[in-house]
């Protein structure tokens, strides 16, 4: 058993219970008790973590990412989404198992040290002969120690058919469906406490056929896995959908049965009020990626409207090619500041911002029964944030200090009761080795792509 005590606790449980000074008791991979004051002295703990000066929160959940992009950061720094994609597709065509291994480990390490215990990934670039890329990133998540929900992504609408990606990067519909089913067979764990679950994720309306969307939804529902895609990210996408399909992006998905409690959509920047209500009515989740949306100048998602409508709104760092920092706690602050910049100081509270990163993220991934809150019976995924240095001095409210105060790496991170970060340092891998591996693979792909 592990006991954490002496810390403030924001449980994000059903009652939003908070303790100014409390304890958490962990047995195996589950939390068995959370309460005020010190833990009962009769508990025979193998380990006691001194939480004084810290705030404990649920481990953060990252709802959207493209880990391979950690190998292509800092490119097209001033372009729109479509300009950025058209310039980067030919670079991404050169990824292989070594690129993805180094990029995924580096990206997952950045998530861990920024408080993330569960991440998804949306991998949709499968160059011919590029290797077993999904297996490589799942190995990376096991090595770093994070819970992982990778999406088998895909593109099947190349430029010659009116899509945005080059024909050389798109796959055949039947091959995609076979690979999707194989990914579920090999990796998906439906059991409680799962470390790996698969979702299916055709990439975006402008890079996939309607048939792939329809067939992927049928396959996902037959196999009991979730669905994910990008939607309503930019005005250019809206114009593409109106011009190509005659409807706005959300209507396009709605018409083919792609809204529901088993679906979460990245971005949703350009939704009107009626569309936000439709998201809530269908229980469709959103992965809000404020830094990426700002980096690409896409706009600000209507998060307060989506929350009012009852839609789950999780947070995502998005790929590192459009969010070079790729740290999840930054997105908590960014969600608050962009919501308020757009709609005033009461648009999103510090506690709501924390809820997006925890409970709402767990809802997006279908894990709210056991993730996203600190309560007895939940998985022991815990972030411990140190708030007693000069940067936070005198801020009485620990949640306000975490969300509004200066950025810091998480002090300690536990995933399923296992220590991943301690003393603000990754314990599962050597950060210097990860950095040199990533730098080597960045140089290698740059050379292959002729950059």
Binding positions for Zn ion, rule: CB under 5 A: 318
Indicate the residue among 68 and 392 with the shorter CB distance to Zn ion: 68
The least CB distance from residue 209 to Zn ion, in Å, is 19
The rounded distance, in Å, linking the Cα atoms of 407 and 397 is 16
- Of the pair 87, 431, the CB lying nearest Zn ion is at 87
Between residues 51 and 106, which has the closer beta carbon with respect to Zn ion? 106
Q: How far is the CB of 233 from Zn ion (least distance, A)?
A: 8
As measured in angstroms, the least distance from the Cβ of 176 to Zn ion is: 18
Residue 433, exposed/middle/buried by CB under 10 A (0-12, 13-18, 19+)? Answer: exposed
Please identify the residue of the shown chain whose CB is closest to the bound Zn ion. Answer: 318
Residues 168/93, Cβ–Cβ less than 8 Å: yes
CA–CA separation, 9 and 20 (whole Å): 7
| Cα distances (angstroms) measured from residue 183 to each of 134, 135, 193, 226 | 8, 9, 19, 13
Give the shortest CB-402-to-Zn ion separation in angstroms. Answer: 26
- Largest Cα–Cα distance in the chain? 70
Is 125 or 434 the residue whose CB approaches Zn ion more closely? Answer: 125
Closest approach of Zn ion to the CB of residue 122, in Å:
6
Instruction: Of 110, 149, 117, 118, give the one whose Cα is nearest residue 383.
Output: 117
| Residue number, 124 or 252, with CB nearest to Zn ion | 124
User: Quick one: 118 or 322, whose CB is closer to Zn ion?
Assistant: 322
**What is the rounded CA–CA span in Å between residue 50 and residue 380?**
17
Shortest spacing between CB 222 and Zn ion, in angstroms: 26
Alpha carbons 176 and 153: distance in angstroms, whole number: 9
Smallest distance, Zn ion to C-beta of residue 230, A:
5
Closest to Zn ion by CB, 282 vs 326, is 326
Return the SS3 of 414. strand
**C-beta closer to Zn ion: residue 23 or 288:** 288
Whole-angstrom Cα distance, residue 383 to residue 111?
A: 12
Closer by beta carbon to Zn ion, 318 or else 331: 318
> Which residues make Cβ contacts (< 8 Å) with residue 239, sequence separation at least 6?
none
- Least Cβ distance, residue 319 to Zn ion (angstroms): 6
| Alpha carbon distance 241, 251 (integer Å) | 10
The minimum distance between CB 64 and Zn ion, in angstroms, equals 6
410 by Cβ neighbours in 10 Å (0-12 / 13-18 / 19+) ranks as buried
Neighbouring C-alpha atoms within 13 Å toward the C-beta of 340: 14
Give the β-pairing of 199-202 and 147-154: parallel
> Judged by CB, which is closer to Zn ion: 293, or 375?
293
State the minimum distance, in angstroms, from the CB of residue 362 to Zn ion: 20
Instruction: Kindly tell me the burial class for residue 415, based on how many C-beta atoms sit within 10 Å of its own C-beta (0-12, 13-18, 19 or more).
Output: buried
């Amino acid at each position: 058993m592990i006991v954490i005590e002496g810390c403030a606790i924001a449980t994000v449980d059903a009652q939003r219970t908070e303790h100014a000074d409390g304890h958490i008791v962990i047995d195996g991979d589950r939390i068995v008790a959370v309460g005020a004051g010190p833990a009962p002295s009769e508990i025979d703990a193998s380990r006691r973590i001194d939480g004084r000066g810290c705030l404990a929160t649920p481990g953060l959940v990252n709802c959207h990412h493209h880990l391979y992009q950690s190998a292509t950061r800092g490119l097209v720094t001033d372009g729109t989404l479509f300009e950025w994609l058209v310039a980067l597709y030919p670079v991404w065509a050169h990824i292989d198992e070594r690129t993805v291994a180094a990029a995924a480990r580096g990206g997952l390490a950045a998530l861990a040290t920024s408080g993330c215990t569960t991440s998804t990934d949306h991998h949709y670039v499968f160059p011919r002969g590029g290797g077993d890329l999904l297996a490589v990133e799942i190995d990376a998540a096991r090595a770093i120690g994070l819970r992982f929900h990778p999406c088998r992504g895909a593109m099947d609408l190349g430029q010659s058919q009116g899509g945005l990606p080059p024909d050389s990067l798109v796959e055949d519909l039947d091959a995609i469906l076979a690979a999707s089913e194989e990914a579920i067979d090999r990796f998906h764990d439906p059991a409680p406490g799962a470390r790996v679950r698969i979702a299916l994720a055709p990439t975006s309306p402008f890079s996939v056929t309607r048939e792939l969307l329809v067939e992927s939804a049928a396959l996902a529902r037959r196999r009991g896995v979730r669905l994910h895609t990008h939607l309503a990210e930019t005005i250019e996408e809206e114009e593409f959908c109106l011009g190509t399909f005659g409807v706005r992006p959300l209507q396009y998905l709605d018409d083919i049965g792609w809204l529901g409690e088993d679906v979460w959509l990245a971005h949703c920047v350009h939704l009107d009020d009626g569309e936000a209500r439709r998201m809530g009515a269908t229980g469709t989740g959103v992965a809000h990626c404020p830094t990426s949306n700002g980096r690409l100048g896409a706009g600000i998602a209507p998060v307060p409207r989506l929350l009012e409508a009852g839609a789950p709104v999780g947070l995502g760092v998005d790929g590192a090619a459009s969010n070079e920092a790729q740290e999840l706690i930054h997105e908590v602050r960014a969600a608050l500041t962009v919501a308020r910049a757009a709609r005033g100081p009461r648009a999103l509270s510090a506690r709501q911002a924390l809820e997006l990163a925890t409970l709402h993220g767990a809802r997006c991934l279908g894990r709210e029964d056991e993730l996203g809150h600190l309560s007895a019976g939940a998985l022991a995924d815990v972030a411990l944030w140190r708030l007693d240095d000069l940067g936070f001095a005198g801020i009485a409210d620990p949640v306000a200090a975490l969300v509004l105060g200066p950025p810091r790496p998480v002090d300690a991170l536990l995933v399923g009761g296992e220590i991943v970060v301690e003393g603000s340092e990754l314990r599962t891998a050597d950060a210097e080795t990860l950095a040199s591996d990533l730098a080597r693979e960045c140089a290698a792909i740059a050379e292959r792509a002729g950059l």
